[in-house]
């Protein structure tokens, strides 16, 4: 079931077992234990910590976890007039680093306007073209799920960046923020167009 989305299962299982502090082991307790452990779930309960204030050293309320890390498990001492103690589960937030890749974009307008490209000979053809292409190639990194940008998208990103800086520096100018949002929306739409063509 995992890797994927982490799964938290919790509830009143009413399945006595020594794992949850009971002195006896029931058929339901064995069934629950075998089922969740066969799926590699981890029991978060602390042995001998009750989840019903009126009981001692056993817990009908079980919390099972399938995922990364080890969430904290703490029953509240105040039951808030309930028969069961509220249980606080602490999920540790882990910052995920997006996968990025390096891409190369050739600025073909610069290639066509480069003076060296107009003076090609049979002797210097390969070396001159390589030199011109190297000079007119832009290297950048994008998220793995983003398409390879072209020059138009790079220009939109640059315009958006400049507009956002201007809007942040002039917070009282409402039109500045509107302009930044408009350029950002345009960039997103164009990026989606490139994404669709990438998978066609």
Mean predicted confidence (pLDDT) in 45-61: 79
pLDDT tens digit sequence for 100-155: 778 788 777 787 777 776 676 767 778 887 888 788 888 878 776 677 778 888 88
Taking the C-alpha atoms of residue 100 and residue 140, their distance in angstroms, rounded to an integer, is: 10
Pairing of strands 42-43, 7-12: unpaired
Q: Is the pLDDT of residue 199 over 60?
A: no
Per-residue confidence (pLDDT) for residue 31, from 0 to 100: 93
Per-residue confidence (pLDDT) for residue 117, from 0 to 100: 67
Per-residue confidence (pLDDT) for residue 81, from 0 to 100: 74
Nearest 5°: phi and psi at 192? Answer: -65, -40
Pairing of strands 100-106, 137-143: antiparallel
pLDDT tens digit sequence for 61-103: 899 998 877 889 988 877 777 888 889 998 876 655 666 778 7
Q: Is the pLDDT of residue 3 over 80?
A: no
Say whether the peptide bond before residue 3 is cis (omega within 30 degrees of 0): yes
30: pLDDT confidence band, cut at 50, 70 and 90? Answer: very high
Mean predicted confidence (pLDDT) in 42-53: 83
Mean predicted confidence (pLDDT) in 20-49: 87
Look over the chain and give the mean of its residue pLDDT values, rounded to a whole number: 81
**∠ CA 146-147-149 to the nearest 5 degrees?**
115
Domains of the chain (ranges; CATH) run 7-90 (3.60.10.10), 100-198 (no CATH)
**Model-level pTM?**
0.45
The DSSP letter of residue 21 is T
């Amino acid at each position: 079931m995992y890797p994927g989305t982490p799964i938290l299962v919790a509830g009143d299982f009413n399945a006595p077992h020594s794992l949850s502090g009971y002195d006896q082991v029931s058929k339901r307790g064995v069934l629950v234990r075998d089922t969740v452990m066969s799926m590699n779930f981890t029991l978060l309960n602390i042995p001998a910590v009750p989840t019903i204030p009126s009981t001692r050293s056993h817990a009908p309320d079980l919390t099972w976890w399938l995922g990364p890390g080890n969430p904290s498990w703490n029953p509240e001492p105040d039951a808030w007039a309930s028969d069961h103690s509220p249980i606080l589960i602490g999920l540790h937030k882990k910052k995920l680093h997006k996968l990025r890749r390096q891409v190369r974009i050739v600025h073909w307008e610069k290639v066509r306007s480069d003076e060296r490209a107009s003076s090609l000979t049979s002797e210097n053809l390969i070396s001159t073209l390589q030199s011109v292409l190297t000079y007119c190639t832009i290297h950048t990194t994008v998220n793995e799920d983003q398409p390879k940008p072209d020059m138009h998208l790079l220009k939109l990103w640059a315009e958006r960046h400049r507009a956002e800086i201007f809007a942040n520096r002039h917070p009282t100018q409402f039109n500045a923020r509107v302009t930044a949002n408009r350029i950002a929306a345009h960039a997103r739409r164009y990026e989606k167009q490139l994404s669709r063509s990438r998978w066609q």
